Chain A
Amino acid sequence: MNLLLEIGAEEIPDWMLAGALEYLGAAVGDLLKQHQLGGSAIRTDATPRRLVVRAKELAARQDDSSERIWGPGKFAPAAALDGFAKKQGIEREQLELVSDGKVEKYTTLRTIAGRPASEILAEALPQLILKTPFPKTMYWTGKGGDRFIRPIRWVVALLDDQVIPFTVAGVTSGNESSGHRRLGAARIPVTCLTYEPALRANYVMLSADERKAKIRAVPTKYKCDNELLSTLVNLTEWPTPITGSFDPAFLDLPKEVLITVMRFHQKYFPVETADGALAPQFVAVTNTDGDPDGLIVRGNERVLRARFNDARFFWDTDQKRKLSERIKDLGNVTFQAKLGTYLEKADRMDQLVIALLVYAAKPGEAVTANDIREAKGRYAFGPDSPEFYAVRASRLSKTDLTTELVKEFTELQGIVGGLYARVQGEAEEVATAIYDHYKPVSMEDAIPRTLTGRLVAIADKLDTLRGCFRVGLIPSGSKDPFALRRAAQGIVKILAEGKLRLPIQSLCEGDSQLEEFMAERVRYYFRDIRGYKYDEVNAVMASGWNDLLDVEERLAAVREIRPTENFEPLAASFKRIRNILKQAQFEGGSFLNTGTSLQEKLLERGAETELYLAFKAAQVACRLLPDHLSRLDSISSLRPKVDVFFEKTMVNAEDPAIRQNRLTLLHMMLAEFSQIADFSEIITGTVNTKNQETK
């Protein structure tokens, strides 16, 4: 038999359809499986007004099954047997004697008749439907009533042509679907077989792929944008694209503004000319079957004209006050209730940009408050140096929040500031930095184009992170209202891809939660974006991650040395060394408190001395060699000596002084070579387990 379930609802938000279908398909699949109802080719579809699950080859009813009923034991009195048999509705003679695995008991097999699929589905579907996960549900039948994303108005539930009878949220299931709101019939009787053609005849194209193809089939060449395309597919039951145009005079406005109005406010595709410039045209997708008289095109054109006029009005109004005159207005714009205004944020960002400049000027060195104060005097008041531009850009970066254009098109924050800075005669370097400073807005987005932009972007994100962590607004689970993960990820991406040697860990100001949060983003970045193995990332970060460029160099070296024959066994030995030291509670000091330096005279001839000499040689080599890879190579070459040492030498010697000396040797090796990576973090497979067992 075929199954059809159609939940007919008032318009479901477009972005929620995919999640609902994913759940419904899986839930129906599980239900059929759980009740052994067969079923194949489970297919889900959705339009704004319906969520549909279909399946083929269902069993009309479950197979009969049997259940063994256990009665009294072998030696039970006859009366007990009679009682048991009577209860089961059979004669005493029909009972069997079977072992339950321990003792023999009287028993019988009871046949359980399989239930009809319709009955099982009728019982389960209402709850299954109501459990569909939606981000924000509503009730509509009265307080305490069932909840769904929007009111359910009809339900089609059929096995072939038979209705599966149930009631959900006050709606009784039936065989009547509903067509397109304006073009189709309100009530359409269907069966599993006629369903899709019947919908089509009533202007509902059930398949999202088909709707997508119809939208793509417009003759006008537009720049397709998959996100918008998917929105429009999910907003329409019978999509028809139309092409409209606008007065080319509007092309004077920045294309960012025009595109935002079309793309985000009107859900239109912008059209490009052959040479890639913006054309005075747009493609709108209607939910209807055509526009023979051009009424719809004219309506959309009028709306767009009004929107563009608004934008022009805002642009002109905004020019009456320069960004530099708007700085103090930021005192009226909240950044976050506990963190004050954007004016306060801008002040903090200025400080941070200066600190970043100082750090960048002397990589790897400590920076004092005095350095920053001194630098501030130098940078903030000109001349037109890169440093001056950075501070200027930071100062002006948030002022566009007070402009009409950004109040209207918030998604253009930063971009509008950059455009205004340019027309108001700020240096190009400053304008570009402001324009870019919200970047990257996602992992796919590019980082700011210029160094100045990168510094301002980092200062902005870092200030948000520090502030939020300071007042306890820390993301937990999927809750991240201030997009702090994105901010931290942005910093990591800018540092790594912008090749900036800035001390990311130091910039966390010793806030251990923020450090851990940032470390997690660093880990994510190198693992999921750059493709390093997670143990390599852990090993390298365990040796420090303050300088992400250095992290990346070390990672590259570890990745390259890893397949060589000596590396993994050596890594296993390091794990062993670490365990030995841990067991001896040797923490860089001495378990005997007899001093920490190694005494060469206590070294045993043979394996121990050889290891020591090889270690000393490698240590020197590591200092002289120019790059991490050759250092790792030199360390790896120790492997045979380490192996022989562990084979021939007892670390836990009876003489405490010798024992101490050996632990010191191991500790020195571990400390020396852990500067590149903590090799004990490397997962080494079988060798590793064996060593752990013999530690």
Chain B
Amino acid sequence: MPEQPNIEKPTFQEIVFKLKQYWSDRGCIIQEPFDVEVGAGTMCPETFLRVLGREPYRTAYVQPSRRPADGRYGDNPNRLYKHMQLQVILKPTPVDVIEQYMGSLEAIGIDLRQHDLKLEEDNWESPTLGAWGVGWQVMLDGLEITQFTYFQQCGGIDLELVPAEITYGLERLTAFLQGVDSVYDIEWTRGVKYRDVRYNDELQYSVYNFELADVPTLWKLFDIHETEAKRLLALYAVSTEQARFPLLATYDHVLKCSNLFNTLDARGAISVTERVGVIGRVRKLAVGVAEAWTSQRNPAPVEHTPVEEQAA
């Protein structure tokens, strides 16, 4: 069968639109990308904080995800400093979650009857977030197109309601649908290639991350954000107005630390002995925010001390 002419294949942005529409139709809040740099959609508060606690929640959003060490100056056809994830959180997980997911593939034009789909074991763990889950990588004709994870723990806390996290790798999925070998050849919209939109980011951030980032400055920034996050967490602990305490702002600083850590790592600036320690520092902050967030949403019942005892 001849390849279909390119014009009929969905563009990058059409795939995004269709997936958003699909999940919107299934009760998801469609969020816009989070505005602090992150390594994965999981780190956004829409996932990291919303999966905590007993409130059901459904959301979907595209998240540009920065992985400084994966940058290749725009030279490698499959590896990117910043790639786009479409992140879906379904909390709690509906029983037909996999059928719903398969429906989303049909929605972007994949006739599953004609393709090979496998769910292969792939468990997920993030030491910096104190989070882990079990799940699969979804393989379509031999290509990993999605990470599917049942979260079990986040910020060191066992989750009350188990959410399903569905993370689509948008570049890969589009390259697959458009039948191109390089992400840079993806049609972003008619007549505009991924290269036209993103090549400069890849080149310039690779130069920065691998060559020009000033290590002492990055460390200084890391310390500043860590100190601020710590200061805020300490304030929260003694705050008399916990309900309005800015934990979201606190979490921004944790994310800054995480990205700075990744940049320092790409720069080769983190020695072995430091590495585990620095991950531990970020995790401590993440766990601190997760615990505070949980207590903020579900304040511990106030213990009433009988009046007589108070007098005594």
Q: Which residues of A contact B (CB under 8 A)?
A: 10-11, 13-14, 48, 136, 138-143, 150-151, 153, 181-183, 186, 235-236, 266, 268, 284, 286-288, 291, 293-296, 298-300, 302-306, 309-310, 313, 331-334, 337, 340-341
| CB neighbours of A302 from chain B (8 A) | 143, 176, 179, 181
A334→B275 contact, CB < 8 A: yes
- Cross-chain contact of A142 among B1, B98, B140, B162 (Cβ < 8 A): B162
Within 8 A of A (CB), among B154-198: 158-162, 176, 179, 181
Cβ–Cβ < 8 Å partners of A298 in chain B: 141, 179
Please give, as numbers and ranges, the residues of chain A lying within 8 Å of B72 by CB-CB distance: 313
> Does B119 belong to the interface (CB within 8 Å)?
yes
The answer to whether residues A14 and B143 also contact, given A138-B134, A293-B114, A296-B115 and a CB cut-off of 8 A, is no
By a CB distance below 8 angstroms, the chain B residues around A14 are: 120-121
Q: Which of B75, B78, B112, B136 contacts A182 (CB 8 A)?
A: B112
From A13, A142, A287, A333, B92 is in contact (CB under 8 Å) with A142
Q: Flag whether B27 is at the interface (Cβ < 8 A).
A: no
Which residues in A have their C-beta under 8 angstroms from that of B133? 138
Residues of B within 8 A of A300 (CB): 141-142
**A interface footprint on B118-133 (CB within 8 Å = 1, 0 otherwise):** 1111010000000001
**Chain A residue at smallest Cβ distance from B140:** A299
7 new A-B contacts, CB < 8 A, other than A151-B95, A341-B272, are: A138-B162, A143-B161, A181-B98, A295-B141, A298-B141, A299-B176, A334-B272
User: In the complex, A266→B276 CA distance in Å?
Assistant: 32
Q: Give CA–CA (A422, B152) in the complex, Å.
A: 47
Complex Cα–Cα for A181 and B161 (A): 26
- Residues in B whose Cβ lies below 8 Å from that of A268: 142
Cβ of B23 within 8 Å of any chain A Cβ, yes or no, is: no
Task: State in angstroms the CA–CA spacing of A425 and B74 once bound together.
Answer: 31
Contact indicator B142/A140 (Cβ below 8 Å): no
Chain B proximity of A434: nearest CB distance (Å): 22
Counting CB contacts under 8 A, is B150 at the interface?
A: yes
CA distance A309 to B268 in the complex (A): 25
**A151 / chain B contacts, CB cutoff of 8 Å:** 93, 95, 150
Question: CB-CB < 8 A to B79: which residues of A?
Answer: 310
Do B123 and A305 have beta carbons less than 8 Å apart? no
The 9 closest A-B pairs by CB, nearest first: A299-B141, A13-B121, A286-B116, A11-B119, A300-B142, A334-B272, A303-B142, A293-B1, A303-B143
Q: State whether the Cβ of B77 lies closer than 8 Å to any Cβ in chain A.
A: yes
Would you call B98 and A10 a contact (CB within 8 A)?
Answer: yes
In the complex, which residue of chain A has the Cβ closest to the Cβ of B159? A143
Selected A-B contacts with CB under 8 Å, 15 pairs: A138-B133, A143-B158, A182-B112, A284-B142, A291-B116, A295-B1, A296-B115, A296-B116, A299-B116, A302-B181, A303-B143, A332-B272, A334-B275, A337-B276, A341-B272
Contact call A140/B162, Cβ cutoff below 8 A: yes
Bound-complex Cα distance A182 to B115 (A): 9
Partner of B271, one of A305, A306, A332: A332
Q: Which residues of B lie under 8 Å from residue A183 when comparing CB positions?
A: 113
Q: A287 touching B117 by the CB < 8 A rule?
A: yes
B204 at the A/B interface (Cβ < 8 Å)? no
Cβ-defined contact, B162 with A235, below 8 A: no
